[in-house]
């Protein structure tokens, strides 16, 4: 078996299943096109295959399990962008990719092309368990204690078309990390999992009831140390309690976070334990042999950096300040000597966050082949990661990225803006997220300024559904409609790390341009009042929001 690096290798059973599924959907599309199915009849069928009808066209959302792709899959995404969309794709905060200009009649062909590289769009929509996300540095990060991808794949297989969880009260999102430093926003998921090694095998800390949207909630710990063999049974029980008692009478009250709040975490935990007591746990027991069988379908990179790789990288950084700046912001420590993980920013000044052209996607596939064992990851911050780059080859990679206009040095800085598609595409949005993201990106595009400001994350959502995760932004922007005009509500202090918090509303919503000016004044104020070494969040914690509120609503 020639397994791809970083993700599970399909077998004939997986491929036969996908082929049958596409044949079924192709028939449904044909019946919709000739009128035998009405839109109301067709809607639940298309949603089960990731196809939305948005403001201007159909949008196809494609799953990228735990965010990992191989280069042949990346090239197929470029081909779809080139031939079926308007030459670009949009990477989302769920580690998916969306194509916004799809013709209905093309969807069966697109799905067949995706299946040819072991991809699909199943469960990227609907009231089911959505794409399982993971740490973009999984298997590479220096601070990782357990690689979560094998368990993410197990959860993917467990949840795909699970007969009991295909029609949940609402959509359901799971994230898993193997680092003590939460990079998956675990506490903002319906179920967030932090894995770690234990004396007798992996242990899993589980949070439930987190989420954003209309009712933002930080998830609560339900179990601290679930052993590996009980992982699936525990998740099954959590889902069963939610499926049985979650509200279905009100779409806005149907998420697990509402149920957990209503019962209280202790009562929810008791209900899960009672459910576990009724289950035959052997039916769900995850044995070491089962885990090993999944792990065997993953290939691992042969890491063979020369002994002087770090020394050569240091020399490259010393002789080129522009490269050094990019290396400071866009790289992450690797577990293996001589290697480094690279984040490719999809946030150029004035650009659309998460968008990449077909040429850029193709180029990323080439660079993955040349520098990272043909593997590429998508982050929930709407960027791309090459996880295994030899340090002595980092300068050459940076030069290639510069040629492709993909070397923006702003990861984790104010220009690294997260934004949903907003009212330019989404039928649910109240405001356009993209134009204000572009204006903010351009306003703070200067690399010196971004580095001076330091860690400051801006998240933008075009409506209360919070696809841009504005509740978790250090500065969050929520688009609202005020008598037919687009305004933006500012929140401060959100974060999705180990100290997860929901941003507090600063004051009245402002028009788009006034919002950009208000944020600029807030940043200026921060640069004046911060103490040495403080981040934006540090200063906000020390002084509260008063100085920022004063700056934001300052009269001209």
397 φψ region: left (φ > 0), alpha (ψ -120 to 50), beta (else): alpha
DSSP 436-474: HHHHHHHHT--HHHHHHH-S--EEEESSTT-TT-GGGSS
Q: Indicate whether 50 pLDDT > 70.
A: yes
- Digit-coded pLDDT (tens) for 395-421: 999 999 999 999 999 999 999 999 999
Assigned CATH for 418-553: 3.30.413.10
| pLDDT digit string, tens, across residues 431-463 | 999 999 999 999 999 999 999 999 999 999 999
CATH T-level topology, domain 308-404: Sulfite Reductase Hemoprotein; domain 2 (3.90.480)
Name the 3-class secondary structure at 42.
helix
Q: What is the mean pLDDT of residues 36-65?
A: 95
Across 1-26, average pLDDT: 91
For residue 453, what are its two tokens? 């400001």
CA-only gyration radius of the chain, Å: 23
* Contact predicate 382/420, CB 8 Å: no
Task: Indicate if 418-553 has the same CATH topology as 133-296.
Answer: yes
Question: pLDDT, tens digit, for every residue of 132-175?
Answer: 999 999 999 999 999 999 999 999 999 999 999 999 999 999 99
Instruction: Provide the pLDDT for residue 556.
Output: 58
| Half-sphere exposure in the Cβ direction for 368 (13 Å, CA) | 28
Q: Where are the domains of the chain?
A: 7-116, 133-296, 308-404, 418-553
What's the confidence (pLDDT) of residue 131? Answer: 94
pLDDT tens readout for residues 180-214: 999 999 999 999 999 999 999 999 999 999 999 99
Instruction: Return the pLDDT at 130.
Output: 95
Q: Which of 421, 410, 353 has the alpha carbon at shortest distance from 382?
A: 353
Helix (H) or strand (E) holding 68: strand 68-70
> So what's the pLDDT on residue 267?
98
Eight-class DSSP state of 217: B
Instruction: Read off the pLDDT of residues 80-123 as tens digits, 9 standing for 90 and up.
Output: 999 999 999 999 999 999 999 999 999 999 999 999 999 999 99
CA–CA dist 60, 105 (Å, integer): 12
Strands (E), 351-457: 355-357, 375-378, 384-390, 418-419
Place of tokens 């402002």: 510
Is the Cβ–Cβ distance between 457 and 433 less than 8 Å? no
Please give the Cα distance from 264 to 293 (Å, whole number): 38
Residue 2 confidence (pLDDT) above 90? no
What is the rounded average pLDDT for all residues in the chain?
96
Q: What's the whole-model pTM score?
A: 0.96
DSSP single-letter state for residue 380 = T
CA dist 471 and 492 (Å) reads 9
Measure the CA–CA gap between 386 and 376, rounded to whole angstroms.
5
Both structure tokens of 17: 């299943």
1 pLDDT tier (thresholds 50, 70, 90): very low
Helices 536-543 & 512-529, crossing angle to 10 degrees?
80
Please state which CATH number belongs to domain 7-116: 3.90.480.20
pLDDT per residue as tens digits for the range 299-312: 999 999 999 999 99
Beta bridge partners of 79: none
Fold of 133-296: Sulfite Reductase Hemoprotein; domain 1 (3.30.413)
């Amino acid at each position: 078996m020639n397994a791809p690096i970083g993700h599970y290798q399909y077998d004939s059973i997986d491929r036969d299943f996908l082929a049958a599924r596409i044949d079924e959907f192709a028939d449904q599309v044909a019946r919709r096109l000739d009128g035998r199915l009405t839109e109301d009849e067709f809607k639940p069928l298309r949603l089960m295959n990731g196809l939305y009808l948005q403001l201007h066209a159909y949008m196809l959302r494609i799953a990228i399990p735990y965010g990992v792709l191989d280069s042949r899959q990346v090239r197929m995404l470029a081909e779809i962008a080139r031939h079926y969309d308007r030459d670009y794709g949009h990477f989302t905060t769920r580690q998916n990719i969306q194509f916004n200009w799809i013709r209905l009649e093309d969807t069966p062909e697109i799905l067949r092309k995706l299946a040819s590289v072991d991809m699909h769009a199943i469960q990227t929509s609907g009231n089911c368990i959505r794409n399982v996300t993971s740490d973009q540095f999984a298997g590479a990060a220096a601070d990782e204690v357990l690689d979560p991808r094998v368990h993410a794949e197990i959860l993917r297989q467990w949840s795909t078309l699970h007969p009991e969880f295909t029609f949940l009260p609402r959509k359901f999102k799971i994230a898993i990390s193997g680092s003590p430093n939460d990079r998956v926003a675990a506490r903002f998921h319906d179920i967030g999992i932090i894995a770690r090694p234990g004396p007798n095998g992996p242990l899993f800390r589980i949070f439930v009831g987190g989420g954003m949207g209309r009712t933002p909630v930080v998830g609560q710990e339900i179990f601290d140390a679930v052993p590996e063999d009980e992982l699936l049974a525990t998740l099954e029980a959590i889902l069963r309690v939610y499926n049985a008692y979650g509200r279905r009478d009100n779409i806005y009250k149907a998420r697990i976070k509402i149920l957990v709040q209503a019962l209280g975490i202790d009562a929810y935990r008791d209900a899960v334990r009672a459910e576990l007591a009724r289950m035959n746990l052997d039916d769900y027991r995850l044995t070491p042999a089962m885990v090993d069988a999944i792990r065997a379908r993953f290939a691992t990179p042969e890491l063979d950096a020369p002994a002087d790789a770090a020394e050569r990288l240091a020399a490259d950084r010393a002789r080129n300040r522009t490269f050094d700046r990019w290396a400071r912001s866009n790289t992450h420590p690797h577990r293996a000597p001589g290697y480094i993980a690279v984040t490719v920013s999809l946030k150029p000044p004035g650009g659309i966050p998460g968008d990449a052209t077909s040429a850029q996607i193709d180029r990323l596939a080439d660079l993955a082949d040349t520098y990272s064992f043909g593997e590429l990851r998508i982050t929930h911050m709407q960027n791309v990661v090459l996880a295994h780059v030899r340090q002595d080859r980092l300068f050459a990679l940076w030069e290639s990225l510069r040629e492709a206009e993909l070397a923006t040095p702003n990861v984790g800085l104010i220009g690294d803006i997260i934004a949903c598609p907003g009212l330019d595409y989404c039928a649910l949005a109240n405001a356009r997220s993209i134009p204000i993201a572009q204006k903010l990106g351009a306003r703070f595009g200067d690399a010196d300024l971004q580095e001076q400001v330091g860690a400051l994350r801006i998240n933008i959502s075009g409506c209360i559904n919070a696809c841009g995760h504005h509740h978790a932004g250090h500065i969050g922007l929520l688009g609202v409609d005020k008598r037919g005009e687009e305004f933006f509500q500012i929140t401060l202090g959100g974060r999705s790390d180990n100290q997860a918090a929901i941003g507090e509303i600063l004051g009245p919503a402002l028009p788009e341009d006034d919002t950009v000016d208000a944020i600029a004044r807030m940043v200026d104020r921060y640069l004046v009042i911060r103490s040495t070494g403080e981040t934006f969040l540090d200063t906000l914690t020390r002084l509260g929001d008063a100085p920022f509120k004063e700056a934001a609503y300052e009269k001209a």
